[in-house]
Copies of this chain bind each other. A is one copy, B any other.
């Protein structure tokens, strides 16, 4: 592939550059030349990781799997961006997750994602679901088809990105509303406790969820009933066009856990192993009947709030850290600073430092991830569109509802 030869980006670990596609170049500029910083920071993160010790004890294949998941999410993102820019027929939109991959990956690595439904841990996701979905085990091909509204997509074309779901791996799914999912997730936890199951119910949510009335409801009831419930608050500093300080009086949202007499843990959301450690502790607590945990993962999204098909850089609805959006709300320096602590790099460097992976192995994994993503979108492209009249299905379990649009 030609991009391998024309790579312009200079990094400390040149091998890994070879899989950077031209379409990611602008995006990578933020990280460019920051290789040294990255490895320093990842050392720091590793040192930190010694405190929460779970990850260090994991077998190599489990650790490798976490790296694989992170790069699969990243390559899903990048491939989708490419599709949006280059394929005028592509119709999917996305709320991008690039920059936050370590959160979904670290949390889901601590969960049970395979087996019969009544033994799976459940994940409730948000309007920004594709990273969570991949981490939980959703099939990338089917998801890509769903995001382009194909009849053979994950949800038959009914869902689109904001409602992706997959019962087979316990991914209860995306929800386009901010707030309600958190409360609904406590209901699953309630059911687990009622039936004496060891399952746990996990909800992801942004810093925007703090101000919703649902924040209080979810945590208070989960705390009172000691439910096996984990609230993973991904604090990426912004909800749409406002900094979280506009809606939250605290620096650490996790502080709010005090009121509910439950653990409130702040974790470095860029370091998958720290996220894993916090999640593992919370999951163990939950399974032991000791109740809920609030985990606040400090993280950052690289792209805009969302990306629309046919988007152009510099316009709202585009991706990439476009100058317009940055100047209106996210300072460019802030974006660049966070990119220096890229979750892909941190994970990669940590595993190399730990001797779990060689650089070559890491590159191989990343190349495979890229291939998988490209193939997934290519497969999706071949899938049939929905039949209009199927819109009358899936209202109730049985039958169809009558058409009413014709009078």
The CB with the most chain B CB atoms within 10 A, among A213, A214, A217, A261, is that of: A213
Given A249-B261, A260-B249; A220-B211 close (CB under 8 Å) = yes
B-side contacts of A32, CB under 8 Å:
none
- Chain B nearest CB from A161 CB (Å) reads 28
Complex contact A255–B249 (CB within 8 A): no
* Copies of this chain, count: 2
B-side contacts of A211, CB under 8 Å:
220-221
Given A255-B259, A261-B250; A217-B213 close (CB under 8 Å) = yes
B-side contacts of A215, CB under 8 Å:
216
Q: How far is the CA of A249 from the CA of B292 in the complex (A)?
A: 13
**Which of B217, B220, B247, B249 is within 8 Å of A249, CB to CB?**
B220
Q: A179: nearest residue on chain B (CB-CB)?
A: B213
Please tell me if A224 contacts chain B, counting CB pairs below 8 Å: yes
Kindly identify, within residues 222 to 269 of chain A, every residue whose CB is under 8 Å from any CB belonging to chain B.
Answer: 223-224, 246-250, 255-256, 258-261
Q: A214: nearest residue on chain B (CB-CB)?
A: B213
**Which of B223, B247, B258 is within 8 Å of A259, CB to CB?**
B258
- Chain B nearest CB from A141 CB (Å) reads 40
B-side contacts of A248, CB under 8 Å:
220, 224
Q: A261: nearest residue on chain B (CB-CB)?
A: B249
Q: How far is the CA of A221 from the CA of B247 in the complex (A)?
A: 8
Q: How far is the CA of A258 from the CA of B249 in the complex (A)?
A: 10
**Which of B224, B246, B250, B256 is within 8 Å of A247, CB to CB?**
B224
Q: How far is the CA of A258 from the CA of B259 in the complex (A)?
A: 8
- Chain B nearest CB from A88 CB (Å) reads 44
The CB with the most chain B CB atoms within 10 A, among A221, A223, A256, is that of: A256
Complex contact A258–B258 (CB within 8 A): yes
> 0/1 per residue, A178-221, Cβ < 8 Å to B?
00000000000000000000000000000000010111110011
Q: How far is the CA of A215 from the CA of B224 in the complex (A)?
A: 16
Q: How far is the CA of A211 from the CA of B259 in the complex (A)?
A: 12
Q: How far is the CA of A216 from the CA of B247 in the complex (A)?
A: 12
The CB with the most chain B CB atoms within 10 A, among A211, A258, A259, is that of: A259
Q: A215: nearest residue on chain B (CB-CB)?
A: B216
B-side contacts of A221, CB under 8 Å:
211
Q: A246: nearest residue on chain B (CB-CB)?
A: B224
**Which of B214, B249, B255, B256 is within 8 Å of A224, CB to CB?**
B249
- Chain B nearest CB from A3 CB (Å) reads 47
> 0/1 per residue, A285-322, Cβ < 8 Å to B?
00000000000000000000000000000000000000
What would be 5 A-B contacts, judged by CB atoms less than 8 Å apart?
A223-B249, A224-B246, A249-B260, A255-B258, A256-B259
6 further contact pairs, Cβ within 8 A, besides A220-B249, A250-B259 = A213-B213, A213-B216, A216-B217, A220-B247, A255-B258, A258-B259
